[in-house]
Amino acid sequence: MRSFQSIAVSIALSALMAASATYARAEDAPLGVRLVDQMNALYGAHPGVRANHAKGAVFEGMFTPAQGADALSSAVFLKGAPTPLVIRFSNAGGIPDAPDTHPSTDRIRGMAIKFRLSDGSEADLVCISANGFPVATGEDFLALLQAVGASGADVPKPTPVDKFLSTHPAALAFVTAPRPVAVSYGAQPFFGVNAFKFTNAQGTSKFGRYRIVPESGPAYVSDEEAAKRPPNALADNLRASLEKEPVKFRLLVQVAAADDSITDATKVWPDSRPTVELGEIAVITALDTKKVENELLFLPTNLTSGIEASDDPIINTRAEAYAESFGRRTK
């Protein structure tokens, strides 16, 4: 099976066992700590880099709010002057030098945005290229990663990951979904994993999930062409585009209906749900990633007034794991 099982096949079991011994923790350790331990076990220990989405490229940009965007939320970046951004595009997986099409990435990309707000504070937005998530809780995500780690090439069928996927249909659908390779990060749509609560100045609240759509539309290459491209084509092609002009995205919020789950990230809402346009993201300048990478921490809980986290448990789990990874890589 492609995806999570291909990760296990592609990573040597000897490295897995060594990393597992290095990062072994008590079962009562915080969930975020155990998740980072398991990711390090899967991908190997790479000091100074993230446990997941280890390979990335950093850019500066600008957000310009759409007219009327503050009708959804009173967030400061939705009104007034444009807001400077720091944007990090990335590939999933914990191998920092893996080619864009390496099995460990599962062709999942990330787009993390840090808004430099006018009052000197910051707000973060963290999205991935898949609409939805394989599991609904951090505990199940850890169980999935553990199943992957126990499912090497020589493990008899059904492997632990086969068994996990047979009892978790959302995870099976996630890992078997087709994922074409984009021309560049600038041609890739992104989705918010979790729901957030948006409240306007009048006190009206709605729940929604972010969507980030390339203004020029999504653009992909064939699998055959992707296999022939340089290992860093996603970032390199974006940098090449920026030599001509900024690369732009539209920031949207898909608004939940009354019967849509706002606490289960595996539940993808129908495309018929309305969307609200918040504004335009312009990617403008490529930064020296190596110089700025380690100082950046993007947290889905780093929010501004007018936007609150829902009760989706994955939100706090993500924040805990990201903070744990940040602490380890900056030691």
> Maximum Cα–Cα distance for the chain, whole Å?
60
- Which residues touch 317 (CB under 8 Å, ≥6 apart)? 31, 32, 35, 137, 138, 141
- Which residues touch 12 (CB under 8 Å, ≥6 apart)? none
Active site residue 168: no
Smallest CA-to-CA distance from 238 within 175, 297, 298, 281 is with 281
Alpha helix (H) ranges present in 23-77? 31-43
* 170, 132 contact by CB (below 8 A): yes
Please provide the distance, in angstroms rounded to a whole number, between the alpha carbons at the two ends of the chain.
37
**How far apart are alpha carbons 52 and 94 in whole angstroms?**
4
Give SS3 for 126. strand
| Residue whose tokens read 């969930």 | 31
Residue 192 CB-density burial (10 A; 0-12 exposed, 13-18 middle, 19+ buried): buried
* C-alpha angle 201-203-209 in degrees, rounded to nearest 5: 90
Single-letter amino acid code for the residue at 310: S
Residue 167 CB-density burial (10 A; 0-12 exposed, 13-18 middle, 19+ buried): exposed
Residues with a catalytic annotation lie at 53
